[in-house]
Structure 1
Amino acid sequence: MSDRPEGPGQGGAEDGTAWPGRDGARAFAAVEAATDWLLGYPFVFRALAHRIGAGEVLVDYGCGPGKVADEAARRLGTRVLGVDTSREMLAAARGSTTAVAAYHLVEDGRVTALPDACADAVMCNHVLASLPTEAAVLAVFSEIRRLLRPGAPFVLLVTDPACGGTEYASLRIGDPGEVYAPGDELTVRLRRTDGSWQDVRNHAWPVGFLPPLLERAGFRDVVQHRPTVDEALTVADADFAAGRAWSAERASPPLVITTALAT
């Protein structure tokens, strides 16, 4: 599990770990993620800023090598705990980030080191696409609900499989003309920092499919938002947002932020 699902040109490990092993961790480090840093992560931070105070506990569920968790800690002033199914990702995170309080392993779907209702907020970025079944998605939502205190916010970032075939600045979701049902396999292309592309196998989870699952897992007040480039000009890093045309992102924004409150 990590900020981006599944390893280079292959599925995850048999235990469900995304970007498996050292090779997976190295491949993850080479992903550019420009579209995410325009239309995704800054909006996750904005949603959290309205709901969590300095010094409170934020869990990054599927933290990968910790870059987003580290940025959240710096921007929000929160005590961030990163959790992931990959020991290699956690090792990379411990060695490369400075602001995150601690990292914990997810084993058999549970963060055994963290007690019930320990978190004042949880974020989860690009994890669902590594999950092959509705039951697996529901299990992740249920574990996140266990970690949250009642009334605490959950912020979820996903790509929309309905935006298939469009080449964005740093990704392409699926193939042109294809329609994906929940759980269908699809190929996502991710741009590397050297300008090349790598293909990864993901699973399609239409954004409209998620609110009922969240409610089943114990969440309420589910709201979805699709950030636009015009919004990003005032939310993302100004120089970064102004540095490209973002033509495809303007025409069909591919990322969706879902927020919900634990019951």
Structure 2
Amino acid sequence: MAEQNRAYHGVAGQVFAARADAPGLNSLHERPAVVSLIGDARGQEVADLGCGAGHLAAILSAAGAKVTGVEGSEVLAGVAREAAPMATIVHHDLDVPLGFLPDASQDGVVCALVIHHLSDRPRFLSEVRRILRPGGWFVLSSTHPTADWGYFGGSYFDERWVTRSFGEATMEYQLMTMSTLLNEVADAGFVLERLVEPQPVEALRMIDAEQFDKWSSAPIFVALRAHVAG
């Protein structure tokens, strides 16, 4: 798979940043669920892995967390630095080990809508486990396996790489079953605390009632919170 199609480089980064900022699937559907799962992070050191345009990094920083955002797209890293000036934003490929983050250095890690783009999820999850302190929390979101299955068709169990268009850009990611996602998290040494299949927040109804009804009828995202085992 070509790297440029998996990390929102160039035009893809610009399109993603605009869409993530506008009222819709990110801001009024997936992001509120992730923020709710994180809870109160004030005074904590948090790594936002795949920080995108910096929305979560900005929210967490404003709430009193010390945030290190990591983003593989140079375009999005630049946007994130402007959106979250109190956070430290690092341009780094998440398919490469996080050598700049020491062992047991983070109280929490958030990884929103990123893991399905990575070429070696078990290695990435082991890095998340390495940088977390004992008892540290991990909040993860991804596209919902059944939503992807409904869109692309074929066998639900065919965990193939697919390409999806949005606006002027295309993006590649790997399909996975729900059992694959949960078992990989468990195998990396995490204990599941909560799993949610988010629905859009009420504010979206006031902006676009048709989309609110559509997105309320079937899952589009899945999000979970886990902690370090032992």
Q: Could you say whether these structures have the same fold, taking a TM-score greater than 0.5 normalized by the shorter chain as the test?
A: yes
Separation in structure 1 between the aligned mates of residue 70 and residue 60 of structure 2, nearest angstrom: 14
The C-alpha deviation readout for 1:229-249, integer Å capped at 9, x for no partner, is: 4xx33xxxx4x4532221221
Q: Which residue of 1 aligns with 2:197?
A: 226
% same residue: 26
Separation in structure 2 between the aligned mates of residue 211 and residue 127 of structure 1, nearest angstrom: 15
Structure (1 or 2) with the greater strand fraction: 2
The C-alpha deviation readout for 1:112-142, integer Å capped at 9, x for no partner, is: 222111111111011122124xxx0111111
Matched residues, number: 224
Separation in structure 1 between the aligned mates of residue 19 and residue 217 of structure 2, nearest angstrom: 23
Give ranges in structure 2 of 5+ residues lacking alignment. Answer: none
Please show how residues 5-44 of structure 1 align to structure 2 within 5 Å: 11-13=2-4, 18-20=7-9, 22-32=10-20, 34-44=24-34
TM-score of the superposed pair, with normalisation by structure 1 = 0.74
Please show how residues 121-160 of structure 1 align to structure 2 within 5 Å: 121-132=108-119, 136-160=120-144
Quick check: 2:149–2:155 contact (8 Å CA) kept in 1? no
Matched letter for residue 248 of structure 1: K
Counterpart among 70, 87, 107 of residue 120 in structure 1: 107
Separation in structure 2 between the aligned mates of residue 241 and residue 262 of structure 1, nearest angstrom: 37
Separation in structure 1 between the aligned mates of residue 148 and residue 100 of structure 2, nearest angstrom: 38
- How far is 1:212 from its partner? 1.3
User: Aligned pair in 2 of structure 1 residues 17, 146: CA closer, same or farther (>3 Å)?
Assistant: farther
- How far is 1:40 from its partner? 1.0
Q: Helix, strand or coil: the match of 2:13? A: helix
1:201 aligns with 2:172: yes
Give ranges in structure 1 of 5+ residues lacking alignment. Answer: 1-9, 167-173
User: Aligned pair in 2 of structure 1 residues 114, 39: CA closer, same or farther (>3 Å)?
Assistant: same
Separation in structure 1 between the aligned mates of residue 88 and residue 78 of structure 2, nearest angstrom: 11
The C-alpha deviation readout for 1:170-228, integer Å capped at 9, x for no partner, is: xxxx33x43343531223343x5xxxx64432211222311211121111135321122
Matched letter for residue 172 of structure 2: R
Structure (1 or 2) with the greater helix fraction: 2
- How far is 1:104 from its partner? 2.3
Matched letter for residue 123 of structure 1: V
Counterpart among 144, 160, 182 of residue 211 in structure 1: 182
Separation in structure 1 between the aligned mates of residue 223 and residue 33 of structure 2, nearest angstrom: 7
Matched letter for residue 144 of structure 2: D
Separation in structure 2 between the aligned mates of residue 224 and residue 59 of structure 1, nearest angstrom: 20
Quick check: 1:104–1:111 contact (8 Å CA) kept in 2? no
Q: Helix, strand or coil: the match of 2:134? A: coil
Quick check: 1:121–1:148 contact (8 Å CA) kept in 2? yes
User: Aligned pair in 2 of structure 1 residues 201, 98: CA closer, same or farther (>3 Å)?
Assistant: closer
Query: Which range is displaced more, 199-208 or 25-34?
Result: 25-34
Quick check: 1:105–1:111 contact (8 Å CA) kept in 2? no
